[in-house]
């Protein structure tokens, strides 16, 4: 297993380094081997390319502009997924503090399993806002923009910019939206052109993640997307003045093969022991187990699924600092279930609710493989 290095080598530590430079602070130590002088006094663009894993860059991106500017590999957070990783970028702290634990989250406050970023129910995908529920009722961590003294900007695709998740996490920032590839870079340029005090710009792209989910990380479509983006970033970087461009990712991905898919419907004893649908991710499942079924559930996994996953009591993962360091969010324990199944190799585990699409993605993330956990740190500074 490859676990996050919250001590001095994760995306959280990168954010600690940026916070200190931008007039803020963090309980986490700064990133090891990060040259703080590189960003001193500069405008900073943090470009997060969803699913750009370190191993993807070294294999698919060998010789690319991004690979040539690679400084080091760092870790994501646990689990290695968008809900935890992007939230770490936008708060500056680990899941231990921000309390978002995966794509599917059981919200005890509301008595339901949610899709946390779209902020809908899992079953039926009903918008929680339509039920009078608010994201701020389950999330209290301040945004990173509220923790620094620079002028903040958040660049997002227009389809995501006005969600309750986005509005809460970019609180304190000026929002810039785009609808196309060129629009992404134009939005960043628009922010940099502002004649004002020092700027911090968070810019997020999810295209590579979508392509890898659908076609796989090793696919020609993923390679084509990456090469096109690499060229666009190289061209864009040449326009920068008094600005440092930092590029990283929330996680990488791993491809799943046929025969490595565990479906709860094929394991009725397992399914019958569950009090709630699986939460978390297909590569890291939180299991809420009926009290009188706990021992039976544990034994079933150990006897029948030992080649596919490791089983932990979730409270053990909190104690061992899988989710971060320091004091835990008071809601963390109830959001990670009774047990956690950490998938081995490239296995995934899935359950399906009535009406859910049963199509299974090729690329997946959330686990502890090197492909998922390690992300690149790329730093580009145009000295002209």
Which fold does the domain 261-363 belong to in CATH? Gyrase A; domain 2 (3.30.1360)
What sign results for the dihedral spanned by CA atoms 54, 58, 64, 65? positive
d(CA 152, CA 323): 27
Largest CA distance in the chain: 68
Instruction: Give residues with Cβ within 8 angstroms of 384, minimum separation 6.
Output: 241
In this prediction, residue 209 carries a pLDDT of 97
**Residue-level pLDDT, tens digit, the chain, 384 residues:** 999 999 999 999 999 999 999 999 999 999 999 999 999 999 999 999 999 999 999 999 999 999 999 999 999 999 999 999 999 999 999 999 999 999 999 999 999 999 999 999 999 999 999 999 999 999 999 999 999 999 999 999 999 888 999 999 999 999 999 988 789 999 999 999 988 789 999 999 999 999 999 999 999 999 999 999 999 999 999 999 999 999 999 999 999 988 999 999 999 999 999 999 999 999 999 999 999 999 999 999 999 999 999 999 999 999 999 999 999 999 999 999 999 999 999 999 999 999 898 999 999 999 999 999 999 999 999 765
* Distance, CA of 290 to CA of 115 (rounded, Å): 22
Domain ranges of the chain: 11-255+368-381, 261-363
- pTM of this structure: 0.97
User: What does the alpha-carbon distance between residue 128 and residue 380 come to, in Å, rounded to a whole number?
Assistant: 41
CB neighbours of residue 294 within 10 Å: 15
The answer to whether residues 373 and 2 touch, using CB atoms and an 8 Å cutoff, is yes
The H or E element containing residue 87 is helix 82-91
Residues 120 and 110: their CA atoms lie apart, in Å, by 11
* CB 323 within 8 Å of CB 342: no
- Cα angle 46-49-55, degrees, rounded to a multiple of 5: 115
**Under a CB-based contact definition with an 8 Å cutoff, are residues 23 and 93 in contact?**
no
Residue 384's pLDDT is: 56
Q: What is the pLDDT of residue 243?
A: 96
- At residue 226, the pLDDT reads 98
What is the model's pLDDT at position 160? 85
At which residue do the structure tokens 């998938």 appear?
A: 343
Q: What is the CATH number of domain 11-255+368-381?
A: 3.40.720.10
In this predicted structure, what is the pLDDT of residue 62?
95
């Amino acid at each position: 297993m490859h676990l996050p290095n919250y001590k001095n080598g994760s995306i959280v530590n990168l954010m600690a380094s940026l916070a200190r430079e931008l007039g803020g602070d963090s309980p986490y130590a700064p990133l090891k081997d990060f040259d703080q002088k590189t960003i001193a006094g500069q405008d900073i663009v943090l470009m997060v390319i969803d699913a750009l894993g370190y191993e993807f860059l070294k294999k698919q991106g060998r010789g690319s502009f991004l690979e040539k500017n690679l400084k080091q590999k760092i870790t994501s957070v646990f689990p290695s997924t968008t809900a935890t990783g992007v939230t770490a970028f936008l708060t500056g702290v680990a899941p231990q503090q921000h309390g978002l634990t995966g794509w599917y989250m059981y919200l005890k406050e509301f008595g339901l399993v949610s899709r946390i970023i779209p902020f809908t129910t899992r079953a039926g995908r009903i918008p929680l806002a339509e039920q009078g529920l608010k994201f701020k009722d389950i999330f209290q961590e301040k945004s990173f923009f509220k923790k620094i003294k620079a002028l903040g900007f958040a660049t997002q695709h227009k389809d995501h910019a006005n969600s309750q998740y986005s509005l809460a996490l970019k609180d304190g920032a000026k929002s810039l939206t785009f609808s196309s590839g060129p629009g992404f870079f134009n939005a960043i340029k628009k922010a940099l052109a502002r004649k004002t005090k020092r700027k911090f710009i968070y810019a997020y792209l999810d295209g590579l993640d979508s392509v890898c989910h659908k076609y796989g990380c090793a696919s020609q479509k993923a390679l084509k997307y990456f090469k096109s983006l690499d060229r666009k970033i190289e061209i864009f970087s040449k326009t920068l003045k008094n600005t440092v461009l930092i590029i990283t990712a929330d996680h990488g991905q791993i491809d799943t093969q046929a025969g490595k898919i565990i479906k709860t419907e094929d394991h009725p004893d397992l399914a019958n022991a569950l009090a709630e649908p699986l939460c978390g991710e297909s590569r890291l499942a939180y299991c809420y187990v009926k009290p009188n079924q706990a021992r039976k559930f544990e034994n079933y996994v150990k006897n029948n699924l030992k080649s596919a996953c490791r089983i932990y009591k979730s409270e053990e993962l909190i104690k061992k600092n899988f989710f971060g360091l320091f004091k835990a969010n008071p809601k963390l324990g109830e959001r990670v279930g009774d047990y956690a199944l950490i998938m081995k190799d490239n296995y995934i585990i899935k359950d399906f609710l009535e009406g859910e699409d049963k199509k299974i993605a090729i690329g997946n993330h959330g686990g502890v493989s090197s492909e998922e956990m390690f992300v690149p740190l790329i730093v580009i500074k145009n000295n002209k």
